[in-house]
């Protein structure tokens, strides 16, 4: 699979402390969910102690697929398990529905619940970009300041 990123996306990836090579790894080897009825995907993969995500549009060409990365983000908070499954979301993993869910999250030994996406069996746990880049980033910063 060919992974394509605009200069603007590469700049965003750098600002968010990610490497282009890591984002390519997420696209090629991460667990991916698809927005129903579209060619838009979110993939995630643990890289060290960070969960990295890539959002991309997948185009099937004659010889190979092309993934056009539209965004990437990450968090260090560990997604542990599903507390509660809610309604089915706009995403699927193959033919498996992905639910909006309340997930247990852990950071620096503190466990709290928060919103996310999950398969019914809990094998895939993800958060969307707005949550990772805002709420989780603030929480990580506060915990680190308190620890220092």
pLDDT digits (tens, 9 = 90+) for 20-43: 999 999 999 999 999 999 999 999
CA dist 4 and 6 (Å) reads 7
Task: List CB contacts of 134: < 8 A, sequence separation 6 or more.
Answer: none
- CATH 3.30.2310 is held by the domain 2-75: yes
pLDDT(141) > 90: no
Res 71: pLDDT? 97
Which tokens sit at 48? 């060290």
Q: Where are the domains of the chain?
A: 2-75, 78-147
Confidence of residue 72 (pLDDT cuts 50, 70, 90): very high
């Amino acid at each position: 699979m060919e992974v394509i990123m605009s200069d603007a996306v590469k700049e965003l990836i750098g600002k968010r402390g990610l490497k282009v090579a890591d984002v390519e790894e997420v696209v090629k080897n991460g667990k991916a969910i698809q927005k129903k009825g579209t060619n838009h995907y979110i993939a995630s993969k643990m890289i060290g102690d960070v969960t990295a995500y890539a959002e991309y549009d997948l185009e099937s060409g004659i010889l190979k697929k092309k993934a056009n990365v539209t965004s990437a983000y990450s968090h260090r908070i560990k997604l542990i398990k599903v507390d509660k499954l809610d309604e089915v979301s706009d995403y699927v993993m193959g033919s498996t529905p992905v639910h909006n869910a309340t997930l247990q999250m852990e950071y620096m030994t503190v466990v709290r619940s928060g919103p996310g996406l999950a398969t019914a069996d809990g094998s895939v746990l993800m958060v969307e970009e707005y949550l990772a880049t805002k709420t989780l980033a603030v929480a990580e910063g506060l915990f680190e300041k308190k620890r220092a």
